[in-house]
């Protein structure tokens, strides 16, 4: 069943058509990747789903809800969580505190209840801590639980950002370049986690990624874009061998980083 549907969406920045009549859907339980050369419009599609931008034309629905009638603040409440190309965490807070921020959409007790720390607020806090501890175990973050983000290596921050998104218990996880800046080993770990997020947690994943090894290893379907337009959609192998995709990547060398397709 289709979870996210984007239909004939167009977005212009002045005279530049950043997303040109793009349609796609992400099914429940699927890992869907967007690939394409720099400036293809991949992040802009994430920003449209996150409601940072209004499309000039088209429709975006999630789980049967019209997302275009909602604000960016409301998007997480539907079960859409996201990581960013430039990691966005609270530098002066611990890993645990950052992960607890991910629980925001599930908080029910009001400010007064929290100030006096009522039994209800106490029970709720225990529930949030338990959910966050599960994420810490899942991502092997035990050693970093009480460390400040500011002092952590880049690769660990990237995992914490993934953890914060997971702590919100999303239906759809948007991963913006999950492998960028990671070592080969860290990228391998990221591939395992994405697989487990899909198979064990049942969360759908949509990712923007340049590393075709990771894309091939974890994606069920891939869409290639260039200059805002769809070039091809299919398995990673189908997309990589598509003439329009090869043409778009010619000279960039990016598409040559292939891996083993699982789709
Ligand atoms: N806020 C903006 N204002 C004007 N132009 C923008 C804006 N954001 C993106 N663009 C332009 O829209 C086009 C698509 O950009 P986008 O960031 O979506 O590409 P991308 O495929 O994510 O690229 P990359 O792989 O480099 O991140 C580019 O030409 C970019 O310069």
From atom 12 of ligand 1, which residue's Cα is the shortest distance away? 18
Residue 116: per-residue pLDDT: 58
Strand order from edge to edge, sheet including 57-62: 16-27, 2-13, 57-62, 65-66
Q: Which residue has the tokens 């289709």?
A: 2
Does ligand 1 have an atom closer than 6 angstroms to the CB of 37? no
Q: Using most ligand atoms within 8 A of CB, pick from 19, 22, 33, 40 the residue to mutate for ligand 1.
A: 40
Mean pLDDT value across the chain: 89
Question: Which element (helix H / strand E) includes 184?
Answer: helix 184-199
Rounded mean pLDDT, 128-149: 93
Q: Where in the chain is the domain with CATH 3.40.50.300?
A: 1-79+170-254
The mean pLDDT of 108-127, rounded to a whole number, is 66
Cα torsion 42, 47, 53, 58 to 10°: value is 60
Query: What is the predicted pLDDT for the residue at 91?
Result: 87
> Ligand 1 within 6 A of 41 CB?
yes
User: Do the Cβ atoms of 49 and 32 come closer than 8 Å?
Assistant: no
What DSSP element (H or E) covers 67?
Answer: none
Topology classification of domain 1-79+170-254: Rossmann fold (3.40.50)
Binding site membership of 114 for ligand 1 (Cβ less than 6 Å):
no
The Å distance, Cα 124 to ligand 1 centre, comes to 41
| pTM of the model as a whole | 0.89
Place of tokens 């995709």: 245
Q: How confident is the model at residue 85 (pLDDT cuts 50, 70, 90)?
A: confident
Please work out whether the CB of residue 229 comes within 6 Å of at least one atom of ligand 1: no
pLDDT score, position 26:
98
Quote the ligand 1 centre to 134 CA distance (angstroms).
Answer: 36
Q: Which long-range contacts (CB under 8 A, 24 or more apart) does 110-114 make?
A: none
Query: Which atom of ligand 1 is nearest to 53's Cα?
Result: 1
pLDDT of res. 190: 95
Position in ligand 1 atom list of the atom nearest CA 40: 21
Across the range 86-103, mean pLDDT stands at 87
Average pLDDT over residues 110-126: 66
Q: Is pLDDT above 70 for 32?
A: yes
Residue 179's φ and ψ, nearest 5 degrees, are -100, -5
Distance CA 205, CA 172 (A): 6
Bridging pattern class, strands 221-226 and 229-234: antiparallel
Q: Does ligand 1 come within 6 angstroms of the Cβ of 95?
A: no
Residue 29 has pLDDT above 50, yes or no: yes
Residue 220 DSSP one-character state? S
Nearest CA to ligand 1 atom 3: 13
| Residue 259, pLDDT score | 41
CB 257 within 8 A of CB 211: yes
């Amino acid at each position: 069943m289709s979870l996210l549907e984007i239909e004939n969406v167009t977005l212009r920045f002045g005279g530049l058509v950043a997303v040109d009549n793009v349609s796609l859907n992400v099914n429940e339980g699927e890992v869907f990747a967007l690939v394409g050369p720099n400036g293809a419009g991949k992040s802009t599609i994430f920003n449209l789903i996150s409601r940072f931008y209004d499309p000039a034309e088209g429709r975006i629905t999630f789980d049967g809800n019209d997302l275009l009638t909602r604000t960016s603040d409301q998007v997480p409440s539907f079960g859409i969580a996201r990581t960013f190309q430039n990691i966005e965490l609270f530098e002066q807070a611990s890993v645990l505190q950052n992960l607890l921020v991910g629980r925001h959409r599930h908080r029910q007790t009001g400010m007064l209840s929290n100030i006096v720390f009522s039994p209800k607020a106490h029970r709720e806090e225990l529930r949030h801590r338990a959910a966050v501890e599960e994420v810490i175990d899942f991502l092997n973050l035990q050693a970093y639980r009480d460390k400040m983000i500011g002092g952590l290596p880049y690769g660990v921050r990237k995992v914490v950002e993934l953890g914060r998104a997971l702590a919100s218990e999303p239906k759809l996880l948007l991963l913006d370049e999950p492998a960028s800046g990671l070592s080969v080993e860290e990228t391998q770990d990221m591939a395992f986690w994405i697989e487990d997020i899909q198979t064990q947690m049942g969360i759908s994943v949509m990712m923007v990624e340049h590393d075709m090894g990771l894309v091939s290893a974890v994606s069920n379907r891939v869409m290639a874009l260039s200059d805002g337009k769809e070039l091809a959609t299919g398995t990673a192998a189908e997309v990589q061998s598509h003439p329009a995709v090869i043409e778009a990547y010619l000279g960039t060398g990016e598409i040559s980083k292939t891996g083993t397709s699982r789709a």
